[in-house]
Amino acid sequence: MRFHAHTAAIGLALLTGAALALSGCATTGDDDGSPGSAEKDTGPLRIGTLLPQSGTLAHLIYGPQAAVKLAMEDINNAGGVLGQDIELVIEANEFDTTDPTIINKSVDDIIAAAPSFVLGAMGTGNTNAAMPRLSEAGILMGSPSNTGVALSGISDSYFRTIASDIIQGRALANLVLHDGHTSVAILAQNNDYGTGLRDNFQETLEAAGAELVYGAEGNSEEFQESQTAFAPEVAAVLAQNPEALAIVSYEEAMQIIPELAAQGFDLSKLYLVDGNTIPYPEFDAGLLEGAQGTTPGRATEGEFLDALVAADSSATQSTNFAPEAYDAVVLVSLAAQKGGGTDTETIIANLGAVSGADGGETCDTYSDCLALLNDGQSIHYQGRAGGGPLTDGNEPSSALIGIYRYDDTNTPQAVGEIEG
């Protein structure tokens, strides 16, 4: 992996041995879709979302929500798909897997609205819950945030624009190692996300000679999703005198961080991940100053950040997964344009090709890619998230991990990125 620092103070020359080769390129159909396919739909491209309007992931909706609006604006301003505006026909709530009633109702609503593509779900468990029925209904899912390793290649009707936990786990460990820590603890939630990221974090630490003194695989020290009190866990962690601590969680970090402070942990030695690297304006000023976090994808800043906020002002609350969400909508639109149809089958048949799996002219905006397609050229959409072409597992062949450092307002500021 390579680290591109935005400030000279970061300058990580850190990630020797952390690169992950994700091999294989996506197989793609030709421009006419699969042989024997049904007649194409050439009407407006209809899409939907399955995002956490409530529940434990609700604090992460803002970036993807704004990204969908911005992508649609950019696509429609460039002429749309097959000369027609893209349409958002359903915005469903994924909520939590702990209460399947809401997500089941959401799946019903999506099927009734009949989009060709749904952005979501954000949680791996929610994707697993929704995927069987949506796939059966002929609806493509594309997640900007599912990092579970087991989702690689799970279905032709599913893709993701984010790398798996393998990359983030290794990148986080290498960041900790670069900072000189050799005795490390982790508080990880007990689900596929928490344990998957932890496992790769632990493997990388131990390969470099460091020790995971709390939270290691097999020690049964994970905490439950939606847990609200952490005094015993924090006391157990601090009893091991770790030099650094990582938290793999969603909104549970809101309770863990104050407990760490109350028990005297130096929060500048704290490391967060994509599920909790968000602003914490509720905390006392400076509480998190110096803490760091990682999020898969290119750091959201500059013109793209300004455009997101212009599209939806709530993006100021969190931009996690916004680049990945934006790319998913653009890839689907380009696949429909390339294949000459807005139906799911045509999109699936051309998705890998427009991502660059077969090579092609590089382009980084929908407008530029559309012009190349209209000129009969093959394309490689190089998106906002910085991911490589889709593999035959329907995921990026390479990825970026953004690195953030908290300032004195408890806001994460982009300081660099790791390329893997």
From first to last of the 420 residues of the chain, give the pLDDT tens digit.
Answer: 334 444 333 333 333 333 333 333 343 344 444 444 468 999 999 999 999 999 989 999 999 999 999 999 999 999 999 999 999 999 999 998 778 899 999 999 999 999 999 999 999 989 999 999 999 999 999 999 998 889 999 999 999 999 888 889 999 999 999 999 999 999 999 988 899 999 999 999 999 999 999 999 999 999 998 899 999 999 999 999 999 999 999 999 999 999 999 999 999 999 999 999 999 999 999 999 999 999 887 778 889 999 999 999 999 999 989 999 999 999 999 999 999 999 999 999 999 999 999 999 999 999 999 999 999 999 999 999 989 999 999 999 988 888 999 999 999 999 988 765
CA atoms within 13 A on the CB side of 55: 23
Would you kindly state where each structural domain of the chain is located, as residue ranges? 41-164+303-381, 168-296+401-419
- Share in percent of the chain as helix, strand, coil (round to 5): 35, 20, 45
Torsional class of 256: left (φ above 0), alpha (ψ -120 to 50), beta (otherwise): alpha
Structure tokens at 54: 């409530």
Q: What is the pLDDT of residue 42?
A: 96
**At what angle are helices 231-238 and 253-262 packed, to 10 degrees?**
50
Query: In DSSP terms, which residues pair with 88 in a beta bridge?
Result: 47
Q: What is the pLDDT of residue 86?
A: 98
**Are 358 and 380 a contacting pair, CB within 8 Å?**
no
Cα angle vertex 70, ends 394, 354, to 5°? 30
Round to whole Å and give the CA distance between 246 and 167: 16
Q: What is the distance, to the nearest Å, from the Cα of residue 114 to the centroid of all Cα atoms in its chain?
A: 25
Round to whole Å and give the CA distance between 392 and 320: 26
**Are 185 and 215 a contacting pair, CB within 8 Å?**
yes
Q: What is the pLDDT of residue 21?
A: 34
Q: Domain 168-296+401-419: give its CATH code.
A: 3.40.50.2300
Structure tokens at 87: 């349409």
Domains 41-164+303-381 and 168-296+401-419 share a fold: yes
Torsional sign, CA 28, 32, 35, 40: positive
Give the closest residue to 399 by CA, choosing from 331, 298, 330, 323: 298
Amino acid at 58: A
Contacts of 146 (CB under 8 A, 6+ apart): 121, 122, 123, 124, 127, 160, 162
Q: What is the pLDDT of residue 38?
A: 60
**Are 150 and 210 a contacting pair, CB within 8 Å?**
no
Return the H-helix or E-strand segment holding 363: strand 361-363
Amino acid at 281: P
* Contacts of the segment 267-273: beta carbons below 8 A, 24+ positions apart: 267/291, 269/181, 269/243, 269/244, 269/245, 270/244, 270/245, 270/246, 271/172, 271/175, 271/176, 271/244, 271/245, 271/246, 271/247, 272/246, 272/247, 273/168, 273/172, 273/197, 273/246, 273/247, 273/248, 273/249
**Are 355 and 389 a contacting pair, CB within 8 Å?**
yes
- Selecting from 1.10.579.10, 3.80.10.10, 3.40.50.2300, 3.40.1350.10, what CATH number does the domain 41-164+303-381 have? 3.40.50.2300
Contacts of 90 (CB under 8 A, 6+ apart): 48, 49, 109, 110, 113, 115, 118
Q: What is the pLDDT of residue 130?
A: 97
Q: What is the distance, to the nearest Å, from the Cα of residue 217 to the centroid of all Cα atoms in its chain?
A: 24
